[in-house]
Amino acid sequence: MNALVRMAGAGALLGLVGLMAGCERPPIDAVQHGYRGTGMVQVYNPRTVDKLIPLNVVPEALPAAGADGPKAGEVYQNVKVLGDLSVGQFTRLMVAMTQWVSPEQGCNYCHNPQNLADDSMYTKVVARRMIQLTQTVNGNWQSHVQQTGVTCYTCHRGQPVPAQTWFQAPPQDLKSNFIGDKAQQNTPARSTTLATLPYDSFTYYFKQDFPIRVAGVEALPGEYGPLNRASIKQTEFTYGLMIHLSDSLGVNCTYCHNTRSFGNWAESPPQRVNAWHGIRMVREINNTYLEPLANVFPASRKGELGDVAKTNCATCHQGAYKPLFGASMLKDYPELGAVSRQSQAAGMPTGVLAKVLFEVNQTTLPADAKASIEQVAARMKGFPNVKLDISGYADRTGSAAKNLEIAKLRAFAVRDALKAGGVPDSQVNLKKPEFVIGDTSGNSRRVDIVATP
Ligand code: HEC
Ligand code: HEC
Ligand code: HEC
Ligand code: HEC
């Protein structure tokens, strides 16, 4: 008997050693982050934090340049965004951009040295759009970046390609249909720190705008049927996203939630509101600034599905609760702080201009969609170089081939309506129809109209 107890004890000890091997070595810092007794504590490994500190040092600012003298827009030939700056300020920003994005490659990473006004290098076309992106984030998204703001360095850190980006994952091949739809499970991926959660939450929340909220609002089904509609599958997508939020900020769930009730906003720390705006900001960065560059980036920079690299929380945060631990570079570069007059005046249509929703099995344009398509057509007048990408979506219930066919016919209907509104064929680009996984709401029966430069 005694021997048995001893054996069990030894087994437990071995088990414990085994468990500990998966843990982080003490000492660990714990910082209280909410009311005492609510378990709102942040746990930090000081060695991980130590490693992050040198990676978040801000490069020294260049000496300021005067605002006097002729404007860049008058002196140079092909300045479309920064024309309001003095030549001194313009040159200083070019030098800073070189330090932030291509310190090894220099000015010629974006420029044809024979002619600086030439737009033949794709990197220059991308960089121009990136200046507008940075101005929009700083000027229109202070609900997230506050006065701290961002510069090219926040994402690029001295590299032409930011370290943390994402591409859309290809859909599972269902041809043999032996295992069925895995719903992106059981395929460990970095995006969920190898947890067995769906590996591509990003497409649904950072490109599309699927509902993130899944918690039931009632204990029992309501009078008119169940109020708690979210499936377990949908919930797992939400958790996949939440793991990314925590991981990219180097925090745990209690940084934004009181885990007594994840859904309750009143009990959540203020950081959750900041994160809410962050999710919307990331969508705008991806849909209005990055996706429309798909025709500009070379194939070698694109993902398996031909999409461009996109932003998530880690692109800026890179493991820190605030990028660069909250240091502001923007104060030294105020020209990146507001949307410049030239960007505004241009009024060029960009990003998602309209989403046209369809009834089940219907391929004719719903009556209420006509007005929004006419608006799009009106906005396109005077912009012969802007193209419209027309993408049809279908959900994954029922026959795949039939759904894709329906999505295609819906895209045709939208194209015809645009044509009737005066947008010529040459400005319309029909994309391959796509599936939306895990959703049977009306949102997936749609056609998006996206303007690209
Ligand atoms: C990361 C890309 C990038 C790098 C690196 C870069 N530039 Fe530029 N440059 C641009 C963009 C984009 C424009 C156009 C800005 C606009 O449209 O407002 C531009 C425009 C210019 C122009 C105006 C040319 C004209 O006549 O229209 C000059 C001059 C210039 N850059 C000089 C430099 C110098 C000098 C360097 C190196 C110190 C440099 N640039 C590095 C992206 C870059
Ligand atoms: C919110 C993050 C973010 C900010 C801020 C940002 N970029 Fe980018 N940049 C990206 C992403 C994402 C890509 C696409 C990377 C890829 O192709 O894999 C990119 C690509 C580029 C490229 C193309 C590089 C290549 O080799 O293909 C250039 C050039 C560039 N950015 C310049 C700039 C400049 C200049 C600024 C500041 C005015 C800036 N970026 C600000 C995220 C950012
Ligand atoms: C950086 C802040 C942040 C962190 C960290 C975070 N969340 Fe969230 N969480 C949010 C925000 C913001 C929402 C609401 C999103 C929306 O409505 O668009 C949310 C929503 C949720 C929801 C849905 C609530 C509802 O109303 O249905 C759950 C569940 C959830 N989070 C769980 C977690 C878990 C588990 C973790 C840790 C792995 C975590 N969160 C970490 C910010 C965060
Ligand atoms: C374009 C760069 C950028 C991206 C992308 C970004 N953030 Fe931020 N975030 C910032 C900056 C800059 C701050 C600092 C603002 C300040 O000083 O309060 C910040 C602050 C925060 C804070 C407040 C931290 C605190 O302790 O007050 C939270 C929470 C946060 N971000 C969450 C997110 C989440 C979640 C995402 C992805 C959905 C995200 N961020 C994407 C730039 C970014």
Q: How much is the average pLDDT of 322-338?
A: 93
Q: How much is the average pLDDT of 356-375?
A: 87
Q: What is the pTM of this model?
A: 0.82
* Count of CA atoms in the C-beta half-sphere (13 A) of 292: 26
pLDDT recorded at residue 190: 85
What would you report as the CA-atom Rg of the chain, rounded to the nearest whole angstrom? 25
Q: Which residues pair with 356 in a beta bridge?
A: 447
Atom of ligand 1 nearest to the CA of 76: 26
In angstroms, the CA 134 to CA 145 distance is 11
In this structure, which ligand is nearest to the CA of 192?
A: 3
Token pair for 155? 């994402």
Q: How much is the average pLDDT of 238-250?
A: 96
In angstroms, the CA 150 to CA 155 distance is 8
Q: What is the Å distance from ligand 4's center to 165 Cα?
A: 16
pLDDT digit string (tens) for 44-91? Answer: 888 888 899 889 999 999 999 988 999 999 999 999 999 999 999 999
In this structure, which ligand is nearest to the CA of 250?
A: 3
- Cβ contact 372:449 at 8 Å: no
Residue 1 pLDDT more than 50? Answer: no
Give the SS3 label for residue 447: strand
- Strand (E) or helix (H) holding 450: strand 446-452
Q: How much is the average pLDDT of 137-160?
A: 95
Cis before 162 (ω within 30): no
Measured from CB, residues less than 6 Å from any atom of ligand 4 are 137, 144-146, 148, 150, 154, 245, 249, 271, 274-275, 278-279, 282, 311, 313, 315-317, 321-323, 326
- Does residue 330's CB lie within 6 angstroms of at least one atom of ligand 2? no
Q: How much is the average pLDDT of 298-308?
A: 95
Choose one of 257, 265, 271, 280 to mutate for the ligand 3 pocket test, by most ligand atoms within 8 angstroms of C-beta: 257
Q: pLDDT band at residue 240, thresholds of 50, 70 and 90?
A: very high
In angstroms, the CA 53 to CA 42 distance is 18
In this structure, which ligand is nearest to the CA of 99?
A: 1
- Helices 369-380 and 400-420 cross at an angle (nearest 10°) of 60
In angstroms, the CA 160 to CA 309 distance is 13
Residue 385 pLDDT more than 90? Answer: no
Range 307-323 burial, b when 16+ CB lie within 10 A, else e: bbbbbbbbbbbbbbebb
pLDDT digit string (tens) for 399-415? Answer: 778 888 988 999 999 99
In angstroms, the CA 330 to CA 332 distance is 5
Token pair for 125? 């076309």
In angstroms, the CA 438 to CA 169 distance is 14
Measured over the CA atoms of residue 442, residue 443, residue 446 and residue 449, the dihedral's sign is positive
- Cβ contact 350:292 at 8 Å: yes
pLDDT recorded at residue 172: 82
Residue 94 pLDDT more than 60? Answer: yes
pLDDT recorded at residue 2: 55
Look-up of token digits 């799009």: 376
Token pair for 437? 């996984």
pLDDT recorded at residue 15: 52
Strand intervals (E) in 179-338: none
